[in-house]
Every structure is written in C-alpha cells, then in structure tokens.
Amino acid sequence: MLRKLLIGTMLSTALSVSYAAPSFAEEVEVLHWWTSGGEAAALDVLKKNLEAQGVTWKDMPVAGGGGEAAMTALRARVTAGNPPTAVQALGFDITDWAQQGVVGDLTEVATKEGWDAVIPAALQKFSKYDGKWIAAPVNVHSTNWVWINKKALDAAGGKAPESWDELVALLDKMKANGITPIGHGGQAWQDATIFDAVVLSEGTDFYKASMIDLDPAALSGPQMVEVFDKMAKLRSYVDDDFSGRDWNLASAMVIEGKAGMQFMGDWAKGEFLKAGQKPGVDFVCIRFPGTQGAVTFNSDQFMMFKVGDANKDAQMKMAAAIEDPAFQSAFNVVKGSAPARTDVSNEAFDDCGKKAIADLADADKNGKLFGSMAHGHANPAAVKNAMYDVITRHFNGELDSAAAAAALAEAVAAAKG
C-alpha cells in the first residue's frame, strides 16, 4: 500500500475507484463556500430550480479563507476518488484542476445554449480548458470600486474624485474634517485589492504587463516604484488601528461616518444595504480614480467534475440552470455582483448594480476587462501570494518603495519556479 502511495499516479487510480451512488434519482453534490446569510439564501434559488426538474441537491458547504478550506476539502475528495458533482471555484484554481484531468465537459450544454456569445471572453478564459467548457460562471465581481460616505463627501466639497490628484485632495479635506479618510483593514488580500486598483490606474497596458504577463521589467520598473509610492501615500490616510481589521468592519466605519471611503469589491455593498443605506443617498459608488472604463474582476464559477453517467444529465441541468437569466439576475442582485452573461436585464438592480453591468459590458467591448490579481484571476495562486507578501510588507512599512518593486520581481520569479 505504501509503495503504491509512493510511486502513485494517485489520481488515475483514484478515479478508477468510481463512486457509485446507490440511488437512481438524479442528484448533484455541490461543494461551495457561500455558506451564510444572503448569498447562501440566494443559492437556494438554484437548488429549488433544480428540484423542480427532479434533481436532488446535496449540499456540501465548507467556508474559510476565501475558498481555501473548500479547496483543501476538494483535494481530499478527489484523492479519495469521490469528487463532488460541482465545485465553486475561482480563476486559476479552475485551470489547475483541469490540468489534473479530473474535470467534466459542459460543451454540449454550452453549445446548445450559446454561452460563447453571451459570456465575456475574459471569463471564458477560465471557464474553458483545451477548448472545452468545464465551468459555469455565476457572477462577475468587480474589485476596483470606491465606496464613499455621502455626508463625508458633501462635507469635503461633494465632488467624486476622477483622478489621483482629486482623490488626494479629497482625502486631505476629509482628514481636515476630522475623520479617517480611508476605512481599511490591514489584511494581505485587502492591501492587495487596493494595490490592484492603483496598478490599474497607471494604465491598462501596465496592468496587463505587470499583473498578467508578469513582465520582470514592468514588475521592477519605475512605474512600479510609483505604484508603491502611491500605496505609501494612501497608507498615510489610514487610521492607526487598521491592521488585521476585517473588511466589513472597515465598511462599518464608512457606514457610521467615522471613515470617508473604502476601496473594496462590490460585495461591500451588501454591508451598506444591510445597514439600511441607499446608493446615491447615503453612499456613493465610483470606480477607483484613474480606472474609469476599465474593470478588474473575479468570477465565481461552478466547475464540474467527472461523474458517472447516471449523474451527467443532472450536471448538465445544473449548468443550464446556473446560466438561466432569471437565476443570474436573482442571485446577483443579492450578491452585489454583476451577472456573468451580458444579456441579462438590469431592471432588478440598484444604481450601483446598473453601473456595474454597464461598466462590465463597456470594458469587455474595449478590451479593458482584466482578471484581478488580488482575487486570483490574473496569475496562479503561488504567484498571487508571493505578491501579497511583498505588498503587505511594504504597506506595513517593512520595505520602501524601491526595495518593494525589486522584491516583487524577485518573489514572482521564485514563485513561478
């Protein structure tokens, strides 16, 4: 047994031990980390839809670490030879699993329903592998948003900033008004979320060269030093207690008017709505100054695993149900994100949601839709986390800007291995 383990082409043998469910009814087992509150309730819509078609939904929620715990459980499930039918997954994780040869094939349903025409190409990059559809995208979160407290904005002149200089001027005014200009939580991924936006504000070409193509010259060059300088500048507008704060407590600071604004993905909107605030009235949503017209995104997708013939049909039904425009609308209204397909009516969405849908379509059309580095859609996990290390060390004052740019290039090179 041990010898087998050691020599192990573990997966191929693991899969030959097929997991045969004794029941004849169609069923899907779904591993995901939308485990609490509104987003879990929204997923229930999908479950009900499938049940109406006679497909049983077996729920396997595992939260933690933004999907890390679920991916850990998935490794165990695949190694044991009983992968779930469908698994929530992000960006490069999908590609990584596809390379293991364990994912299913949705091409049949995708062709029938014409996904190619309605799902943005930037998303398809992750939903497809080797020309086959392997995952059904649920949503598009965009991450280069700024959430501003309306009262604080009005007190500081009332004009939403459109450039870096205007942003700095606004932050200065807010500081003078006696509030913390930026509500921020000092966790690596939150630091990286701001970093994403700052890099994007240096131009879409620079974003692509540094974050997606990982060009060493762009990673260590003068423009990257400037990005780090801007990060240091933003750091000066954050309160002293920022370190370790959860993102939603940073949102709470903006909601309560203790802080002026927060740089965060569109899931932050849920906190504002839950606190009874209205977009445009109590808070304002804008794109990070200098990134108008461009969107960095992350997209939750359900990646499908190879299952026995008995459940293939259920898997297809689930994929089709995910791309059902009614579900896309219902789910994303709750989640705060935009639908993954561009032909869904924006009627049910609030002003920020409508703006998100319009921005997404524009960015897609103009080639300015990019995967977010901070959220695992620009480069693989190893590289992303190597970047996190440098960004967060710099943000916490352990490195100066020039040293950070050099360290960034070095860490990326090591992680690319």
Q: Is the dihedral of CA 281, 283, 285, 289 positive or negative?
A: positive
Identify which of residues 6 and 52 has a Cβ nearer to other proteins in the complex.
Answer: 6
Q: Binding to other proteins by residue 396, rule CB under 8 A? A: yes
Helix runs in 284-350, H state only? 309-322, 325-335
Identify which of residues 72 and 236 has a Cβ nearer to other proteins in the complex.
Answer: 72
Map the footprint of other proteins across residues 151-210, applying CB under 8 A. 186-188
Q: Binding to other proteins by residue 60, rule CB under 8 A? A: yes
Binder of other proteins out of 53, 100, 177, 236 (CB under 8 A): 100
Map the footprint of other proteins across residues 341-380, applying CB under 8 A. 380
Are the C-beta atoms of residues 45 and 327 closer than 8 Å to each other? Answer: yes
Map the footprint of other proteins across residues 61-80, applying CB under 8 A. 61-69, 71-73, 75-80
Task: Put the strands of the sheet holding 180-182 in their side by side order.
Answer: 180-182, 259-263, 145-149, 283-287
Stretch that binds other proteins, among 30-38, 122-130, 220-228, 364-372 (CB under 8 A): 30-38
Binder of other proteins out of 89, 91, 97, 369 (CB under 8 A): 97
| Shortest distance, position 61 Cβ to other proteins, whole Å | 4
Map the footprint of other proteins across residues 266-305, applying CB under 8 A. 267, 270-271, 274-275
Q: Which two tokens stand for residue 91?
A: 């960006």
Are the C-beta atoms of residues 379 and 212 closer than 8 Å to each other? Answer: yes
Distance of CA 104 to the CA centre of its chain: 23
Longest dimension (CA), the chain: 72
Q: Binding to other proteins by residue 395, rule CB under 8 A? A: yes
Tell me how far apart the alpha carbons of residues 90 and 274 are, in angstroms, rounded to a whole number: 26
Binder of other proteins out of 12, 58, 213, 348 (CB under 8 A): 58
Tell which residue, 397, 375, 65, 372, has the closest CA to residue 238. 397
| Shortest distance, position 331 Cβ to other proteins, whole Å | 12
Stretch that binds other proteins, among 57-65, 104-112, 221-229, 340-348 (CB under 8 A): 57-65
Tell me how far apart the alpha carbons of residues 59 and 71 are, in angstroms, rounded to a whole number: 15
